[in-house]
Amino acid sequence: MRTPLSLLSLVLTLTILSAGCAGPEQKLGRGFDNLFEIVRGGETRRTVEQTAITDGPNVAYTTGFVKGMNRRIARTLLGAYEIVTFPIPSYDPIFTHYLAPNPVYPDSYTPGLIEDETFATDTSLGFSGGDVAPMIPGSRFRIFDN
């Protein structure tokens, strides 16, 4: 019993190592990005915005919201699938005819880096720009942006 388990673990280790790191790493990262869509809500915001542009403001908050929630749930389930299957090839994005490979944002918002000493260039001077309230989701007010 001990020999088959050690042989199985050896074969599994060799399979994972021979697959390379870039594919599983990208698939796992994409999976976590998509899994947290349920909290982030970018699909819902983008779909409401796009529905307002294409179909008019009358249906943006109704039809756009329902379509956005459907896409939000689909992206979350896709993320869970990619996390579970990340060591298994193929590493290409799937379901791309319905969802973009990477998380989306509304066209009116482009995210930036969180303001932190890690990314700030002028912390030695004692000031730097960034989000005023980064702990609040959707906070877009930034200072010292050019």
Give the containing element (helix H, strand E) for 130.
strand 130-131
Note the pLDDT tens digit of each residue in 89-116.
888 999 988 998 888 888 887 777 666 6
**Alpha-carbon distance 64 to 47, whole Å?**
6
Amino acid at 145: D
Q: What residue segments make up the domains of the chain, in order of their start?
A: 19-110, 112-146
Interaxial angle between packed helices 22-35 and 63-84, expressed in degrees from 0 to 180 and rounded to the nearest 10: 140
The sign one gets for the Cα dihedral 83, 85, 87, 89 is: negative
- Tell me how far the alpha carbon of residue 111 is from its chain's centroid: 12
Note the pLDDT tens digit of each residue in 45-92.
999 999 999 999 999 999 999 999 999 999 999 999 999 998 888 889
What tokens appear for 28 in the block? Answer: 């796992």
pTM for this prediction: 0.67
For the chain, the straight-line distance linking the first and the last C-alpha, in angstroms and rounded, comes to 66
